[in-house]
Amino acid sequence: MSVVDRTLDRTVGLIERLSDRLNPILVKETRQSTQGTFFAMVFLMFIAVSWVVLTLGTLSQWERLETDPTAEMFFGWYYAVLSFAAFVVVPFGAYRSLLVEREQHTYDLLTITTLEPRRIVQGKLASSVLQVLVYYSAIAPFIAFTSILQGFDVLWVSWVLALSFLWSIALCSVAMMTSVSSRHAQWQTTNLVGLIVMLLIGWSTALSFVVVGEAQREMDEPNFWLVTGICVVLGSSYIALAQQVTISRITFASGNRSSGIRWILTIQFWLFVAAIALLSVVNVGVAMDEDAQLVVGTLATLHWTVAGLFLVTESEFLSRRIRSRFSTSRGRRLLSAPFLPGGSRGLVLVFGHLAILCLGMALLAGVLGVATARHARGVVGTFVLVLNAVVWLGVAAIISRWARKVSYRITNAHVRVLTVLLFVLVQFVSMVPMIISGRNSFSVIHALNPFVMVAEVDDAGRIGFAAGVAAMIILLFAAAVLLLVNLPAMYRGIRAVTDGPTPQPTPQPTPQHDPPEGSSGA
């Protein structure tokens, strides 16, 4: 055997050992892509368009190439090509990838292997990331050409490419989440249309952002990199959330589909708090600024309200599989209870965090001495939103429990839609007097209308004291009533975890062959 043969054998062996460590889905999809015609065609088109841009651009700008800053224009064109592939083609492929598994009856085969749902989703995402990297490497020579032109800003280009990479992963994650969101054909069609629209908007937004280049001029600002860092961290948390939702959707019915999502939502909230704290340390004005306080309060309440609508409408059922994984310690069970599936435990988690938010805002008001009505817009506005969240999530939880008693045909989705419709109806009814009278006046009827209430709080000069106080009392009363009505269910939900039987350890089965190693990530 010659040296060349030995080297080749060693290389093949090394690649094979390396591929053993990779996610099986990634290996499979890479093989399929390299043997299929679709990827090859798209890739060749991508290269061809890049060449056309290079050729036409060079010919049209020939006179100015050495003297004028043409790099920005060339980069804009290449970015349009790259971003279309990374923000539209690849995410759409990710969407199809999971959907096709169901259509071609391969998903069941995949499910009954020892591959965990997490690894299936990671494999699909890794395959998309690999495709994005291929497109990045294909465009690299063209961007290298751009770098020799006048006006090339290496920092700006690097920043754009890095964030675009993250944006592409985010779109792929959302696309995968969309593909598993429904099994019904009519909803899949709606999802498909919605996804395409979303991807095109995502692409055009990113493209206009880069072409306008506003951020390029702000790169020298002191907080630019801090804000970028915070955006990246929070953006990554939403990628993780989208992935976790996808994982939950494909997890076996007796498995725990909720805890992962609850943990990520909680981590997101605390990351958000940490980001605000960090910004406040760097720039004290953020904490002092009432508008900023209101924005922070609104975002945090919105986070828990939207998430809460899904969590509090979950079924209370805890499968034997979930119960068998309870901790033997009662204390640990108590702490973990809000993170376990079930609408009532969802209420505990959401209301608990909303209480923390209110407490934080109250402390902020106290510390900064902004407790007077004129200087407490942010704090009072947040309270109004939180109380509304308590009311409407409480309503959703009650509807959910009632629906389960009435008919098994009423699903969680029905309950959510019903709650939203009820919310919209109440908002509309509260607006009727305004519409009829034609006067933009605040009254107690707006107590359950967070939009009007917050607008009035924001514009503190216009709120009538008596009407404002009365509306706040009504809102407080409604929130207290709904909290009290839900309290027994919340108590029972926690007791179901703390007082459940202690799980017995299950003996490990005797392996019949070399133990499968497929449980860890790639």
Partner 1 sequence: MVAENAGLSPTIELRNLHRFFGTLRAVDNVSFSAYPGQVMGFIGPNGAGKTTAMRILATLDLPIAGDALICGESVINEPDRVRRVLGFMPDSFGRYPNMNILEYLDFFARAYGFRGAVRRDAIERVLAFAELEPLLDKQIDTLSKGMSQRLCLGRTLIHDPEVLILDEPAAGLDPRARVELRELIRLLATEMSKTVLISSHILTELGEICDSVSIIEAGKILASGTIEELQQGTGSSVEVDVESAPVTEIEVTMLGDAGGLETWLVQQAYVDQVTVAGQRLTITFSGDDDARHGLLKAIVLADFRVVSFETKTQSLEDTFMRITRGELQ
3-state secondary structure of 362: helix
The Cα 60–Cα 57 span in angstroms is 5
The answer to whether 74 and 146 are in contact (CB under 8 A) is yes
* Least distance between partner 1 and beta carbon 128 (Å): 17
* Least distance between partner 1 and beta carbon 345 (Å): 21
* Least distance between partner 1 and beta carbon 123 (Å): 10
The 8-class DSSP code of residue 508 comes to: P
Query: Counting contacts by CB under 8 A, is residue 255 touching partner 1?
Result: yes
Q: Which is nearer to partner 1, 372 or 510 (CB)?
A: 510
* Least distance between partner 1 and beta carbon 87 (Å): 25
* Least distance between partner 1 and beta carbon 263 (Å): 21
Query: Counting contacts by CB under 8 A, is residue 253 touching partner 1?
Result: yes
Structure tokens at 103: 């259509």
What is the chain's alpha carbon radius of gyration, rounded to the nearest angstrom?
A: 27
User: Residue from 16, 62, 137, 405 that binds partner 1 (CB under 8 A)?
Assistant: 16
Query: Counting contacts by CB under 8 A, is residue 183 touching partner 1?
Result: no
User: Residue from 5, 63, 220, 514 that binds partner 1 (CB under 8 A)?
Assistant: 514
326 sits in which H/E element? none
* Least distance between partner 1 and beta carbon 501 (Å): 13
Query: Counting contacts by CB under 8 A, is residue 184 touching partner 1?
Result: no
Query: Counting contacts by CB under 8 A, is residue 499 touching partner 1?
Result: no
The Cα 303–Cα 380 span in angstroms is 18
Query: Counting contacts by CB under 8 A, is residue 36 touching partner 1?
Result: yes
CB burial class (10 A; 0-12, 13-18, 19+) of residue 51?
Answer: exposed
Q: Which stretch binds partner 1 (CB under 8 A): 107-115, 297-305, 414-422, 427-435?
A: 107-115
Structure tokens at 403: 């629906």
Query: Counting contacts by CB under 8 A, is residue 24 touching partner 1?
Result: yes
Q: Which is nearer to partner 1, 125 or 482 (CB)?
A: 125
Q: Beta-strand (E) ranges in 116-230? A: none
CB burial class (10 A; 0-12, 13-18, 19+) of residue 83?
Answer: buried
The answer to whether 315 and 341 are in contact (CB under 8 A) is yes
φ, ψ of residue 341 in degrees (nearest 5): -60, 155
- From first CA to last CA, the distance across the chain in angstroms is 34
Number of residues that bind partner 1 (CB under 8 A): 44
Give the count of alpha carbons within 13 A of 121, CB side only.
Answer: 26
Query: Counting contacts by CB under 8 A, is residue 35 touching partner 1?
Result: yes
The Cα 216–Cα 122 span in angstroms is 33
The answer to whether 26 and 126 are in contact (CB under 8 A) is yes
The Cα 284–Cα 277 span in angstroms is 9
Query: Counting contacts by CB under 8 A, is residue 114 touching partner 1?
Result: yes
3-state secondary structure of 245: helix
DSSP string, 25-60: HHHHHHHHHHHSHHHHHHHHHHHHHHHHHHHHHHHH
Q: Which stretch binds partner 1 (CB under 8 A): 45-53, 104-112, 128-136, 430-438?
A: 104-112
Q: Which is nearer to partner 1, 14 or 162 (CB)?
A: 14
Q: Which is nearer to partner 1, 86 or 115 (CB)?
A: 115
The answer to whether 97 and 124 are in contact (CB under 8 A) is yes
The residues in 422-461 that bind partner 1, with binding defined as CB under 8 A, are: none
Query: Counting contacts by CB under 8 A, is residue 108 touching partner 1?
Result: yes
User: Residue from 3, 4, 17, 18 that binds partner 1 (CB under 8 A)?
Assistant: 17
What would the x/- binding string for partner 1 be over residues 311 to 330, using CB under 8 A?
--------xxx--x------
Query: Counting contacts by CB under 8 A, is residue 105 touching partner 1?
Result: yes
The Cα 55–Cα 49 span in angstroms is 10
Query: Counting contacts by CB under 8 A, is residue 134 touching partner 1?
Result: no
Query: Counting contacts by CB under 8 A, is residue 518 touching partner 1?
Result: yes
Closest CA to 385 of 323, 461, 300: 300
Query: Counting contacts by CB under 8 A, is residue 112 touching partner 1?
Result: yes
* Least distance between partner 1 and beta carbon 172 (Å): 20
Closest CA to 91 of 197, 191, 174: 174
Indicate the residue type of 181: S
Q: Which is nearer to partner 1, 27 or 53 (CB)?
A: 27
* Least distance between partner 1 and beta carbon 485 (Å): 30
* Least distance between partner 1 and beta carbon 42 (Å): 14
Q: Which is nearer to partner 1, 255 or 394 (CB)?
A: 255
The residues in 396-415 that bind partner 1, with binding defined as CB under 8 A, are: 408-409
Q: What residue ranges bind partner 1 (CB under 8 A)?
A: 16-17, 20, 24, 27-28, 31-33, 35-36, 104-116, 252-255, 319-321, 324, 408-409, 506, 509, 512-519
